[in-house]
Chain A
Amino acid sequence: MLRRLLGAALVLWGAATVAFAAQVALPGDRATIIFNIRAGQPIERTPEELAAINAQYGFQLPVLQQYLDYLSGLVRGDLGNSYQQFRPVTAIIGEQLGATLVLTASAIALAWLLTVLWVTATAGRGRRTSGFGAAVDTVSAGLPHYWLGVVLLLVFALELRWVPVISDGSATGLLLPALTLAVPLAGFMGQATRTEFERSLAQPFVLTARMRGMSDLGVRVRHVLRHSALPAVTLSGWALGATISGAVVVETVFTRAGIGRVLVTAVNNQDLPIVTGVVVLVAALYVVANLLVDAAHVLIDPRLAKGTTS
């Protein structure tokens, strides 16, 4: 357990360091960028104009000193203040995190629903049905988020008006964004689950259950599904941590607030305290998601408790 926590801390430190290194390496003088964005005019600035900003953010200090200050802030839970919003980064992230987590959680739930229904209905049902089921998995897994999002928006919000155009807080407003993230994920989980599912169907315990007179659906849901769910669990754990990439696109297409939008804006504005803050947050999410996946594995298959897989 201690080992695992230490590993998690190492990952966090690594991610934070990469983010810090990136902001030092980015081209252009940081004070100039801050000044130009505040002014809205991209021109060269004089040293006098920049002096105040340099002093305020300590850009004139040695890089090592800046790095240590940054790390010590991190340890205290202080991610610094945004250059453009003049607010603590923790507050900015805090208020946007909820929306993104809701989006991701619903997307994962929806993906599970789609996968379970589709795989249970089509796997191991003869060549034609199985083949069709697998083909649908492959197609869904290959759909790019942004394109799926734009097409869904075009058809269901702009043309049919079944859901609001601007994604508000409501459940209907959440539907399209969640679906956009869920469909490709369901495709992947389907691909991963289907093989396992078909393999399990041929296992002796299935035959036993059938001989006990259990219905086909009962067998599929009670026995086979459980055995074939492991890869999908792993995938959804990963999706929880790495969802930020998908969220960036989905939040842009559907005009939703969230971490993804904050991140793109911050990178564009080189509002680096926010960028590093998001990196640390995502790394933390990743660590937590990994722990959750391990726990879920043990729940589904107790034999793994003694295993060495991580």
Chain B
Amino acid sequence: MSTVLTDAAPGAPRPARTGRPGGRTRRPRPWSVYLATGTALFFLVAVAAPGVLDTTDPLALNLSQALQAPGPGHWFGTDEAGRDLWSRVVHGARPSLAIGAGASAVSLSLAVVLGSLAALGGRVVGPAVDRLVEVLFSFPSLLLALLLVALLGPSALTQAVAVGVGTAPGYARMVRGQVLSARGSAYVEAAVALGHSPARILRRHVLPNALRPLVAIMALSIGQSIVWASSLSFLGLGVAPPSSEWGALLEAGRPYVAHAWWLTVVPGLVIVALALAATTLGNHLQSLLERRES
């Protein structure tokens, strides 16, 4: 998926948020941050307490109400068995976000381990891990996901692991770069000159500085993981229906695309909205962090 591109692209510089022409700091665009915060809050409520937003059973059949267009009573319309789409979207937040967060966790943990090893592993381990990351990189992420699904069977867990492993190499490179630059920085040299032990330098100086940007990356990565995971559902490799996971909803609606556009368009918009909110918040967080550093 190209949605993982920026982070997964070898050596591609992350769009820097500081250093605008003339040296002025880019002012955050508050409206977009507010909008993103609002969206994120809405989804968090849907995850924590879907009952607040919707009281109907997302799986309840209502055969006499099948394929109703959006309107009063069914704000997002109904599907072929009369299930309410609004209710399904709300209840789908939990599995969707769980998969997204799980995938990010898998991806970033792997990335920190691989990236640190590559940067600090010395002459033998370092290049070996480098090669491993390279091999993972050359392996199409979707194929990796396909194989994992075949290996473990389709489930939310498989989906999270597949997406996590697929996106890890990109982050691993980023971590490697951060660790290397932190190690080469003046304060580390100073610490070395002061005779601190390597372990202490690593713990106190290198890792904290190298990993700080990952907080922001985490937000970005959750958004991307959800898009990614929903692609797997779309290919029939995700959570089994009748789960309301958004990708599964979208795939279930596809046969009706010419008759009931809402079944495809609505879940798609929800996924895009969440990914955008996560990206915006991630970028904002990143620029805040960078400003504090400078």
Using a CB–CB cutoff of 8 Å, the interface residues on chain A facing chain B are: 7, 10-12, 14-15, 18, 22, 25-27, 124, 127, 131, 135, 138-139, 141-147, 150-151, 154, 158, 181, 184-185, 188, 191-192, 194-196, 198-199, 201-202, 231, 234-235, 238-239, 241-242, 244-246, 248-249, 252, 263-264, 267, 270, 275, 278-279, 282-283, 286-287, 290, 309-310
A156 to chain B minimum Cβ distance, whole angstroms, is 13
Q: A14-B132, A235-B9 are in contact. Are A282 and B20 (CB under 8 A)?
A: no
Interface centre among B11, B29, B250, B271 (most CB of A within 10 A): B11
Does A282 lie within 8 Å of B138, measured CB to CB? yes
> Of B147, B223, B264, which is within 8 A of A142 by CB?
B223
Does A26 lie within 8 Å of B137, measured CB to CB? no
Does B276 lie within 8 Å of A142, measured CB to CB? yes
B20-31 vs A, Cβ < 8 Å mask (1 yes, 0 no): 111000010100
A290 to B275, CA, bound (A): 29
Q: For the complex, count residues of B whose C-beta is within 8 A of A.
A: 55
Does B234 lie within 8 Å of A146, measured CB to CB? yes
Does A246 lie within 8 Å of B1, measured CB to CB? yes
Neighbouring B residues of A263 by C-beta, 8 Å: 143, 146
Neighbouring A residues of B142 by C-beta, 8 Å: 244-245, 248
Name the prevailing secondary structure of the A interface residues. Answer: helix
Is B280 in contact with chain A by the CB < 8 A criterion?
A: yes
Does A194 lie within 8 Å of B15, measured CB to CB? yes
Q: A184-B3, A249-B231 are in contact. Are A138 and B138 (CB under 8 A)?
A: no
> Of A234, A244, A249, which is within 8 A of B143 by CB?
A244
Residue of B nearest to A194 (CB): B15
Interface centre among A22, A144, A145, A151 (most CB of B within 10 A): A144
Total A-B residue contacts, Cβ distance less than 8 Å: 179
A158 to B259, CA, bound (A): 11
Does B150 lie within 8 Å of A145, measured CB to CB? no
Does B230 lie within 8 Å of A144, measured CB to CB? yes
Residue of A nearest to B267 (CB): A147
Interface centre among B137, B143, B234, B264 (most CB of A within 10 A): B143
Is B71 in contact with chain A by the CB < 8 A criterion?
A: no
Is B125 in contact with chain A by the CB < 8 A criterion?
A: no
> Of B16, B132, B250, which is within 8 A of A147 by CB?
B250
Neighbouring A residues of B15 by C-beta, 8 Å: 191-192, 194-195
Neighbouring A residues of B3 by C-beta, 8 Å: 141-142, 144, 184
B2 to chain A minimum Cβ distance, whole angstroms, is 5
Does A26 lie within 8 Å of B140, measured CB to CB? no
Does B13 lie within 8 Å of A231, measured CB to CB? yes
Is B151 in contact with chain A by the CB < 8 A criterion?
A: yes
B264 to chain A minimum Cβ distance, whole angstroms, is 6
Chain B 157-203 interface residues, beta-carbon cutoff 8 Å to A: none
A101 to chain B minimum Cβ distance, whole angstroms, is 15
Does A151 lie within 8 Å of B268, measured CB to CB? yes
Residue pairs across A and B with Cβ atoms less than 8 A apart, 15 shown, are: A11-B131, A11-B138, A14-B138, A141-B5, A144-B1, A145-B231, A184-B2, A199-B21, A239-B2, A239-B5, A244-B140, A252-B235, A267-B147, A282-B139, A283-B139
A10 to chain B minimum Cβ distance, whole angstroms, is 6
A309 to B11, CA, bound (A): 9
Neighbouring B residues of A138 by C-beta, 8 Å: 276, 279-280
Does B1 lie within 8 Å of A142, measured CB to CB? no
